[in-house]
Amino acid sequence: MSNISKKYAVIKGTGSYIPEKIVSGDAFLNSTFYDNGVILDKDITEIIKKFSEITEINERRYVDDNLVNSDIAAIAAQNAIESSGVDKESLDHIILCHNFGDIAVGSNRTNMIPALAAKVKQILNIQNPDCVAYDIIFGCPGWVQGVIQANYLIQSGDAKKVMVIGSETLSRITDPHDRDTMIFSDGAAAVIFEARESGEPIGVIAHKSQTFAATYGSLLVMGKSNNPAEVNGNLYLKMNGRKLYEFAVINVPQVVKKAIDIAGLGIKDIKAVFIHQANGKMDHAIMKRVFKLYDLDEVPQKLVPMTISWLGNSSVATIPTLIDLVLKGKMEDYNMKEGDYVLFASVGAGMHINAVVYRF
């Protein structure tokens, strides 16, 4: 142990909001999906079954009609405040990571004024003007990037407590005529980080981010409906699934290894990997590639907690929701203890990739 004490960003408390509305594959039985402007000439039951086999998504969660993104973000934030025992007025920063702002049911129009973090601060009735609230728009890796921001704020001495929220209502921005709509879901989670002095590394100890916009920035964008008859001007979340898969499997492992290298560790030191869950098959392929970089053929069982089968892809909410579930004992076989190293890793629109090494 070093006798030099340093300041680290450590998790103080977590909270999440998992919508109660469960949407199974059967909810899409009456859907009409298009590809390149032509109706898919396949049995809808077979389309749904094949989709589930590839992505491992059997159901997803949607928010109730009366809620918007800032509402569920505030619920998760309140949960984190209560579970941590932190005085809400002692928060120095609220960082809210999302991509589409507030979208009212049936509107397909985003509302980002004021920043959703400011809306959450208002909902929570935090009076302290020194609690600075702002948003990060960074694709699905937004929450991990928020953690990196929180770490810098704490290490600089500017903050003692930072709450990082990941919240999204993707069900409001997906094209009902696109098969990919079955991937996306809604949810929110918040993690409060606090400054802690330590003679050995704890909390956030390393990170790495990269942006591949020049070549791959168009893999996930906003675009018109797959239904050529729709001329209302709405834009929906669109992705080149095959190319995105290839990009992620090749590039995410490299960023993960760079973060682990910066921490001075090896892959066998990592107790758990909290990875963004957009596609189960893709996540398994990414982890296999990570281990290949260390000349290892097998990924240990129980290394990667998975929620994609029942929560779908809630974008920025995925990783903090996982963390909340694990730390509150709601994920069987995953119990973090003092000294354990874990990894947060994500990839998404931009294209951005990031990874954080954290020590409990």
One-letter amino acid of 199: G
Residues 326 and 258 in one domain: yes
Residues 70 and 56 in one domain: yes
Residues 166 and 296 in one domain: no
Residues 292 and 159 in one domain: no
Q: Is residue 102 in a domain?
A: yes
Rounded (10°) angle between helices 69-84 and 116-123: 60
Q: Is residue 291 in a domain?
A: yes
Count of structural domains within the chain: 2
How far lies 178's CA from each of 175, 184, 282, 302, 336, in Å? 5, 11, 20, 33, 39
Residues 194 and 211 in one domain: no
Which residue, 198, 219, 244, sits at the end of a domain? 198
Q: Is residue 1 in a domain?
A: no
Residues 208 and 282 in one domain: yes
Q: Is residue 230 in a domain?
A: yes
Q: Is residue 322 in a domain?
A: yes
C-alpha triplet 283, 286, 287: angle, nearest 5°: 90
CATH number at residue 47: 3.40.47.10
Residues 215 and 192 in one domain: no
How far lies 61's CA from each of 6, 261, 306, 323, in Å? 41, 36, 15, 18
Q: Look at residue 4 in the predicted model and tell me its pLDDT.
A: 82
Sign for the CA dihedral angle at 331, 310, 280, 54 comes to positive
Range of the domain at 64: 6-198
Residues 320 and 293 in one domain: yes
Residues 212 and 337 in one domain: yes
Residues 130 and 257 in one domain: no
Q: What is the DSSP string of 79-99?
A: HHHHHHT--GGG--EEEEE-S
Residues 67 and 88 in one domain: yes
Residues 127 and 189 in one domain: yes
Q: Look at residue 3 in the predicted model and tell me its pLDDT.
A: 62
Q: Is residue 30 in a domain?
A: yes
Residue 216 — φ and ψ, nearest 5°? -120, 10
Residue 269 — φ and ψ, nearest 5°? -80, -15
- Going by their DSSP bridges, the two strands 38-39 and 34-35 should be labelled as antiparallel
Distance CA 295, CA 216 (A): 28
Which residue, 139, 166, 198, sits at the end of a domain? 198
pLDDT in tens, the chain (360 residues): 456 889 999 999 999 999 999 999 999 999 999 998 999 989 999 999 999 999 999 999 999 999 999 999 999 999 999 999 999 999 999 999 999 999 999 888 999 999 999 999 999 999 999 999 999 999 999 999 999 999 999 999 999 999 999 999 999 999 999 999 999 999 999 999 999 999 999 999 999 999 999 999 999 999 999 999 998 889 999 999 899 999 999 999 999 999 999 999 999 999 999 999 999 999 999 999 999 999 999 999 999 999 999 999 999 999 999 999 999 999 988 999 999 999 999 999 999 999 999 999
Q: Look at residue 127 in the predicted model and tell me its pLDDT.
A: 98
CA neighbours within 13 Å on the CB side: how many for 335? 3
Which residue, 128, 163, 198, sits at the end of a domain? 198
Contacts of 100 (CB under 8 A, 6+ apart): 69, 110, 168, 169, 170, 172, 173
Nearest to 195 by CA among 168, 145, 166, 156: 156
